[in-house]
Amino acid sequence: MRVAFLVAPEGVEQIEMTDPWEALTATGETPQLISTRPGSVQAFHHLDKADTFPVDQTVAEASVDEFDALVLPGGVANPDFLRLNRDAVAFARAFFDAGKPVAAICHALWTLVEADVVRGRRLTSWPSLRTDIRNAGGEWVDEPVVVDQGRDRPNSLVTSRKPDDLKFFDEAMLEAFAGAPGTS
């Protein structure tokens, strides 16, 4: 299974990217780092610079048809940059239109709010996004992980609040991705 990790050139919370990445690779899956610019992305540990990671493909070059699932890591700056990029927003929305599973953690829900895909969904995020999600028509709950199957766009949406919830997020993500139509 090919899984796209969509991140901005800087601002992704490193653990929210590397932990799900490692969970997927441990099961033999093939994650690909997609960003708005080629080169590398600068990850962060909260507000401090952390490691850099090579970009596999830009979002303008990538096609949803190449991937089975999407992961949106958080970090405050990362989804704020992504939601201002038309190609990134369209790429995220296309996974919903195609009925493919999506997993998003922490502030990553901002990208999904911008993509207008949270309406009618039950989900969670970092608490400061609660009002944004409710204003976009989503039902925000304070739980470690939420899996919503959708009604209008029937795909699995796995959401989680923060790095402390990564164990639950990874388990739910792996289960949702394994059960998706067309995935192995």
Is 107 tagged catalytic?
Answer: yes
- Cβ–Cβ < 8 Å for 81, 37: no
Catalytic residue among 83, 93, 100, 107: 107
**Cβ count within 10 A of residue 58:** 15
Catalytic residue among 105, 106, 123, 146: 106
Q: Is 31 exposed, middle or buried (0-12, 13-18, 19+ CB in 10 A)?
A: buried
Instruction: Write the CA distances from 162 to 55, 57, 143, 149, 175, integer angstroms.
Output: 24, 27, 10, 21, 19
Q: Does 46 qualify as catalytic in the annotation?
A: no
Catalytic residue ranges: 106-107
